[in-house]
Amino acid sequence: MNFRRFKAIARKECIHVIRDWRSLGISLAIPALLLMLFGYALNMDLSNVPTIVWDQANNPESRNLIEFFHGSPYFQVTGKTSNYRDIEQALGSGRALVALIIPADFGSNVLQRGQPQAQVIVDGSDANTAAFALNYARAIGLIAGTSLQPYVPEDPARRQPLRITLKARSWFNQDLRSRNVIIPGVIAIVMVIIASMLTSVTIAREWETGTMEQLISTPVTSSEVIFGKVVPYFAIGFLDLLISFVVGRWVFGVPFRGNAALLFILSGLFLSGALFFGLLLSIRLKKQVLANQVALISGYLPALFLSGFVFAIPNMPWFLQKLSLIVPARYFVSILRGIYLKGVGFEVLWFNAMILTLYAFVVARAAHANLKLKID
């Protein structure tokens, strides 16, 4: 590969990028836009769920239980009722997502050290929120059950079995903030979209504008064209990575515990593979619109659904779990979360890095094999 010809191709592509200032502006605005969209809209944290209460007991014990719900950051008591019809209307209209029903014998069961029970009804039309709400309600019930137990003298006949208290602790994401998990994953989505949008039209544009014939008539080789065209978009991708890093760290407060140099090096591997993949589609399809659409579908959708970014891979059907093994974004999302949240190094991430290197090499070779110039 001749460096002078490579430099000329790269310079030509840079001039085109600068002239097409609209596409350049969009490519630089997409990271901040997606981070804001996913960071604020895709929030899996449960907080202030509207809750309606039917307190049939109306005694200190029942009011204490209600205070546990109202005082938690997860539930907000928005009203009280005295029948199931109002509960059905509140849940059906969306005024409440959770209903807490305390039976009339709740206080007496507490005082007699029986088995006090309360009913929690959730709106199952929102399955994720319902599952979270039920889990938090059970946890509050366990805490409240321990605090509601009255003092009992040392009477062997009334002595209760030993209770084991588990104190849970979360590592790497102590507050269990969903944004700490979502924001690193958005970086992978950003890089896939940028690579798909930019490089998928490079060669196709040459064919549509009629400049490919002029390029073929020059003594440039396939390698010089491929790498020369990727260079400016690689720089744009790194700039987008920097924007994503800054927004995630200082706007959303996502902790960064790893090595920044390692993050950028491994991100470069993933970005290279995504750029060469877009270039391969541009070479094969030779139509800008078609190549761009295929690149977005084949790059963005797998990265969104099969990378573990939104949906946990172990919860997927087995065939989707196997299919996710060929999605490069799966390994990059694992790298991002490992560096961001766990602060792990290359000794842990080497396998994912090897997969991304192999992916970049394979698509680069495929692009080279499909772009055959007469001098090659």
Decide if 368 contacts 226 (C-beta within 8 A).
yes
Confidence of residue 376 (pLDDT cuts 50, 70, 90): very low
The answer for residues whose C-beta is within 8 angstroms of residue 87's C-beta and 6 or more apart is 52, 54, 81, 96, 99, 101, 121
Instruction: For the beta carbon of residue 257, count every other beta carbon within 10 angstroms.
Output: 12
Task: Examine the pLDDT at 14 and tell me if it is beyond 90.
Answer: no
Domain ranges of the chain: 3-42+177-370, 49-158
β-partners of residue 120 are 100
Q: Which CATH architecture has domain 49-158?
A: 3-Layer(aba) Sandwich (3.40)
Other Cβ atoms within 10 Å of 53 Cβ, number: 24
Integer Cα distance of 114 and 102 in angstroms: 15
Q: What is the pLDDT of residue 44?
A: 67
Q: What is the pLDDT of residue 126?
A: 66
Would you say how long the chain is, in residues? 376
Six-digit token pair at 146? 């321990």
Indicate the Cα dihedral angle 352, 359, 330, 236, nearest 10°: 100
Q: Given this model, what pLDDT does residue 366 score?
A: 92
Query: How far is it, in rounded angstroms, from Cα 40 to Cα 327?
Result: 26
Tell me: the pLDDT tens digits for 193-243? 888 778 888 888 888 777 777 777 777 888 888 898 898 899 998 999 999
Helix (H, G, I), strand (E, B) or coil at 55: strand
Which residues, including other chains, have CB under 8 Å from residue 149's CB and lie 6 or more apart?
A: 110, 113
pLDDT tens-place string over residues 354-373: 999 999 999 999 988 888 75
Per the prediction, the chain carries an average pLDDT of 82
pLDDT of 159 reads: 47
